């Protein structure tokens, strides 16, 4: 019977309860002095740690402190780190291979690509001076976001590549499968940013569309261009397929707030290239696609009754000032992955990786500092739209505080109807905390500035915005465990509804306006 016999654990053992069982084989792990013996079924080996199912539960054991005996023991010299990622082709077809190639160049590995069919990209990493030695085996399964989650939950993939957040039922199934909470820190990361944009053919004269009009088109309430001050012609509507991450994100971001459903008069496409090609050649077509897949179409700005017009520029996507920002996600398992795989995931936050992301057509997450005079008309227009209860003294106080500072593209926003940070903002907490730990803002001043929508009394809104800024400060300082806060001037302030980023007459605009910005000096 599998068991654990030891009077005490020898130094070098690390025992952790884990989940996600793999194919099992009998092994015995012995400490070097042979005083500790662990018998059980080997569930996995990642090049550093053994995972063993014993009569006392699943244990993870540091391989440096033991020797392995039995038919299930791995060949330590021939160990290959394996990684399988499944999900959205928009991530797996171009972006992940490009990042893997850059990772190999940085660390001097030799990268080989193998022909594995149209829906599987297969790469191997080889030792620099001995190319016959395979160190890593990486496979990207081109499925869709839904299948990516399913493969992760079935332990058929190590990573789910998705164009949307995990839904409540998927998070519940993950907990039932022993994978824990997919929403916890470390289980999900934002790889890059994109945005949903309405697009038309270059010959289409429409100059702008509101989010309410866009929702009405998607539901069929508006089905003629005359409803947008255009020609008297039916709108030919094009969307991503319903089972794709972008198709699902389109519904979640635009129709979910109104609990409406799509019209049946839609042409669906399996990818963005097909959609943009169809829209570009039809002057009466309207498509909803991603910024990275715009092709030869023209983006239609999002406009509001108050005069704001928003486009999905790189900076407006980074800051989420554009309301339909769409992050690209990687969801990770609860178990440890091989060191080479962990090194690759760590590389994804490297500045050189952010450059690869940008060159691939997506929006990177490298923070940028923007001076007020480089922010276009944002500052002046936003002040012009300030609520009636915001007095001159408060506007002057805001200008006095912000004028000497630069706005960081790192912004924090909250889920609709919730005090919980949204997915991009939770990633921003980790990014800013890591920068603080590295000392990148030592001897500098950082001000977390809270803003609100214009619903309710101005003073109440200012207090709510201040509490949000304080909550962000608490989250960042909690995450930045090793930062030297004695070297950083980190403070909070709030101006409530004084500087709206979007029209306040819609739920989407109010959500954009509820934010915490980072200003630095």
HEC assignment per residue over 61-118:
EEHHHEEEECCCCCCCCCCCEEEEEEECHHHHHHHHHHHHHHHHHHCCCEEEEEECCC
Q: Is the pLDDT of residue 408 over 60?
A: yes
CA distances from 446 to 192, 325, 377, 426 (A): 24, 25, 23, 18
385: left (phi over 0), alpha (psi -120 to 50) or beta: alpha
How confident is the model at residue 376, as a pLDDT? 67
For CA atoms 304, 307, 313, 319, the dihedral sign is negative
Does the pLDDT at position 378 exceed 70?
no
Third-level CATH fold of 81-187? D-Maltodextrin-Binding Protein; domain 2 (3.40.190)
**Beta pairing partners, 189:** 330
Is residue 258 scored above 90 in pLDDT?
no
Is the CATH number 3.40.190.10 carried by domain 194-318? yes
Tell me the backbone φ, ψ of residue 152, rounded to 5 degrees. Answer: -65, -45
Class of domain 4-69: mainly beta
Please say whether the beta carbons of 486 and 439 come within 8 A.
no
What pLDDT digit, counting tens, does each position of 327-340 carry? 999 999 888 888 99
Same fold, 194-318 and 367-520: no
Q: How big is the CA angle at 224 (ends 221 and 229), to the nearest 5 degrees?
A: 105
| Strand, helix or coil for residue 490 | strand
Domain 367-520 architecture = 2-Layer Sandwich (3.30)
CA distance 81 to 273: 34
pLDDT of residue 197: 97
Integer CA distances (angstroms), 368 to 145, 446, 485, 499, in order: 30, 14, 22, 20
* Domain ranges across the chain: 4-69, 81-187, 194-318, 367-520
pLDDT at 7: 33
The reported pLDDT for the residue numbered 17 is 32
**What does pLDDT average to over the chain?**
87
pLDDT digit string, tens, across residues 179-237? 888 888 788 999 999 999 999 999 999 989 999 999 999 999 999 999 887 789 999 99
What is the separation of C-alpha 209 from the centre of its chain, rounded to a whole number of angstroms? 27
**Residue 274: how many CB atoms within 10 A of its CB?**
18
Contact indicator for 516, 452 with CB cutoff of 8 Å: no
Could you give the CA distance from residue 476 to residue 473 in angstroms, rounded to a whole number?
5
Confidence band for 397, pLDDT divided at 50, 70 and 90: confident
pLDDT above 50: residue 18: no
Q: Identify whether the C-beta of residue 356 lies closer than 8 Å to the C-beta of residue 99.
A: yes
Per-residue pLDDT tens for 47-58? 888 889 988 888
Q: Whole-angstrom Cα distance, residue 239 to residue 237?
A: 7
pLDDT of 422: 86
The predicted pLDDT at position 9 comes to 34
Q: Please state the pTM of the whole predicted model.
A: 0.82
pLDDT tops 70 at residue 14: no
pLDDT of residue 55: 85
pLDDT at position 443 is 94
Percent with pLDDT over 90 in the chain: 58
pLDDT in tens, 473-500: 999 999 999 999 999 999 999 998 888 8
**Cα–Cα distance for residue pair 521/326, rounded to 1 Å:** 29
């Amino acid at each position: 019977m599998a068991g654990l016999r030891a009077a005490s654990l020898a130094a070098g053992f690390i025992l952790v309860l884990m989940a996600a069982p793999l194919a099992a084989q009998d092994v015995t792990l012995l400490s070097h002095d042979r005083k500790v013996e662990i018998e059980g079924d080997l569930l996995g080996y990642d090049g550093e740690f053994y995972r063993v199912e014993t009569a006392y539960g699943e244990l993870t054991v540091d391989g440096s402190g033991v020797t392995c005996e039995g038919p299930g023991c791995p060949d330590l010299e021939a160990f290959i780190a394996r990684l399988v990622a499944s999900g959205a082709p928009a991530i797996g077809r171009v972006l992940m291979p490009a990042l893997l190639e850059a990772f190999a160049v940085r660390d001097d590995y030799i990268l080989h690509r193998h022909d594995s069919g149209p829906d599987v990209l297969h790469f191997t990493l080889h030792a620099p001076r001995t190319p016959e030695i395979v160190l890593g085996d990486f496979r990207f399964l081109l499925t869709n976001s839904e299948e990516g989650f399913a493969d992760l939950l079935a332990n058929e993939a190590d990573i789910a590549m998705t164009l949307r957040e995990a839904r409540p039922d998927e998070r519940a199934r993950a907990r039932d499968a022993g994978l824990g909470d997919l929403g916890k820190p470390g289980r999900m990361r934002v790889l890059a940013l994109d945005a949903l944009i309405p697009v038309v053919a270059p010959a289409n004269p429409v100059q702008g569309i509101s989010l309410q009009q866009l929702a009405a088109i998607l539901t069929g309430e508006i089905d003629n261009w005359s409803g947008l001050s255009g020609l008297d012609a039916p709108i030919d509507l094009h969307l991503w397929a319903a089972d794709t991450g972008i198709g699902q994100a389109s519904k979640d971001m635009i129709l979910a707030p109104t609990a409406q459903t799509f019209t049946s008069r839609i042409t669906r496409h399996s990818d963005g290239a097909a959609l943009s090609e169809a829209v570009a050649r039809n002057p009466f077509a309207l498509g909803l696609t991603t910024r990275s897949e715009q092709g030869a179409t023209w983006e239609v700005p999002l406009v509001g009754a108050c005069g704001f017009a928003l486009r999905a520029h790189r900076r407006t996507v980074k800051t989420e000032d554009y309301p339909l920002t769409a992050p690209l996600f990687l969801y990770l398992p609860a178990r440890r992955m091989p060191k080479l795989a962990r090194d690759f995931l760590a590389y994804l936050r490297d500045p050189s990786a952010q450059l690869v992301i940008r060159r691939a057509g997506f929006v990177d997450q490298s923070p940028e500092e923007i001076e007020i005079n480089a922010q276009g008309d944002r500052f002046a227009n936003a002040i012009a739209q300030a609520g009636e209860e915001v007095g001159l003294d408060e506007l002057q106080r805001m200008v006095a505080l912000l004028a000497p500072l630069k706005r960081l593209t790192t912004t924090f926003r909250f889920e609709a109807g919730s005090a919980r940070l949204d997915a991009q903002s939770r990633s921003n907490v980790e990014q800013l905390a890591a920068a603080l730990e590295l000392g990148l803002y030592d001897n500098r001043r950082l001000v977390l500035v809270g803003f609100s929508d214009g619903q309710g009394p101005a003073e109440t809104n200012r207090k709510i915005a201040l509490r949000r800024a304080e909550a962000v400060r608490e989250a960042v300082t909690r995450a930045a465990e090793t930062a030297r806060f004695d070297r950083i001037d980190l403070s909070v302030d709030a101006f409530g509804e004084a500087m709206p980023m979007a029209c306040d007459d819609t739920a989407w605009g109010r959500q954009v306006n509820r934010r915490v910005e980072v200003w630095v000096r």
